[in-house]
């Protein structure tokens, strides 16, 4: 049975949206992989130790490795950029169901000769919120760095800090705020029906609102990276995958996925604190 013109257009829109998400996510992950690779310890045996090469080596290490001295404005800007790109890599794939529904709804409205808005406008509002979180995360890392609570490899040097962060993340998984924000993230159709606004400004505001719910649901989980390593890409991918699982899990089992993870985090944090002497 042949597809109607509307069905053909809707399928094309889904392909375009998914293609755009894949490209944006791939670019962000590519940046993270490059940054993580640049932070790997250099092989001293493979280097010519002449004066010229030593000078070049020092310059390369200063660019590749986080600095141990107090950060200046440029260092803070670079860390903010890293966090902002990381949020794109982690969170853009998890919002695919919402973006696909937004694109479909807009296309149908266009067929009815109603105002049509690009999905990119919605996504920009969503990313503004996560960029705001990147500012918060960069400032937090700047504070911890200057207090010598993080190593040059961006890992917490304090078991007490790590244990507290893990406990906080685990407990948060059981809170009403977590459940409320997660319910909005898990129900794209309900969000669109409840929060729909016309025009570009309306789409941008919708994206911001969705981003706020998403950040409210996930921001505490992001602090785990201060314990495991900010540029530990295994944990970056693991947290991103867990966030996606929380969003797409069935309504009945979804909350228990979050709560079970919370128990694991509380146990991990308690174990870390118990090891302090």
Structure tokens at 166: 């893990």
| Interval 135-139 mean pLDDT | 95
Output the average pLDDT for the chain. Answer: 83
**What pLDDT digit, counting tens, does each position of 241-268 carry?**
999 999 888 877 777 888 999 999 999 9
Band the pLDDT of 40: cuts 50, 70, 90: low
pLDDT at 6 over 80: no
| Interval 28-36 mean pLDDT | 91
Looking at residue 214, what is its pLDDT? 94
**What pLDDT digit, counting tens, does each position of 115-127 carry?**
678 889 999 999 9
pLDDT at 160 over 70: yes
DSSP string, the chain: -PPPHHHHHHHHHHHHHHHHHHHHHHHHHHHHHHHHHHTSPP-GGGS--SHHHHHHHHHHHHHHSPPSSPP-HHHHHHHHHHHHHHHHHHHTGGGHHHHHHHHHHHHHHHHTT-----HHHHHHHHHHHHHHHHHHHHHHHHHHHHTT-B-TTS-B--HHHHHHHHHHHHHHTTSHHHHHHHHHHH-HHHHHHHH---HHHHHHHHHHHHHHHHHHHHHHHHTTHHHH-TT-HHHHHHHHHHHHHHHHS-TTTHHHHHHHHHHHHHHHHHHHHHT--
Looking at residue 250, what is its pLDDT? 80
Identify the residue with better confidence: 38 or 221.
221
Band the pLDDT of 277: cuts 50, 70, 90: low
């Amino acid at each position: 049975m042949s597809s109607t013109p509307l069905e053909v257009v809707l399928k094309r829109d889904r392909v375009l949206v998914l293609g755009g998400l894949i490209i944006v996510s791939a670019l962000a992950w590519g940046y993270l992989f490059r940054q993580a690779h640049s932070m790997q310890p250099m092989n001293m045996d493979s280097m010519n130790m002449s004066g010229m090469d030593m000078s070049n080596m020092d310059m390369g290490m200063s660019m590749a490795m986080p600095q141990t001295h107090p950060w200046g404005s440029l260092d803070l800007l670079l860390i903010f950029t890293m966090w902002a790109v990381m949020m794109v890599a982690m969170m853009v794939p998890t919002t695919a169901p919402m973006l696909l529904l937004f694109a479909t709804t807009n296309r149908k409205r266009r067929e009815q000769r109603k105002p049509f808005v690009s999905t990119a406008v919605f996504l920009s509002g969503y990313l503004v919120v996560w960029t705001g979180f990147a500012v918060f995360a960069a400032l937090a890392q700047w504070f911890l760095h200057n207090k010598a609570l993080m190593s040059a490899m961006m890992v917490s040097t304090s078991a007490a800090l790590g244990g507290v962060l893990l406990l906080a993340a685990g407990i948060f998984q059981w809170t009403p705020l977590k459940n409320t924000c997660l319910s909005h993230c898990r129900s794209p159709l309900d969000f669109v029906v409840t929060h729909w606004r016309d025009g570009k400004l309306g789409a941008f505001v919708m994206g911001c609102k969705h981003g706020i719910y998403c950040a409210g649901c996930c921001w505490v989980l992001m602090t785990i990276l201060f314990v495991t390593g900010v540029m530990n890409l295994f944990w970056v991918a693991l947290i991103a995958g867990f966030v996606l699982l929380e969003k797409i899990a069935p309504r009945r089992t979804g909350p228990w996925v979050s709560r079970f993870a919370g128990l694991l985090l509380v146990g991990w944090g308690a174990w870390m604190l118990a090891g302090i002497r």
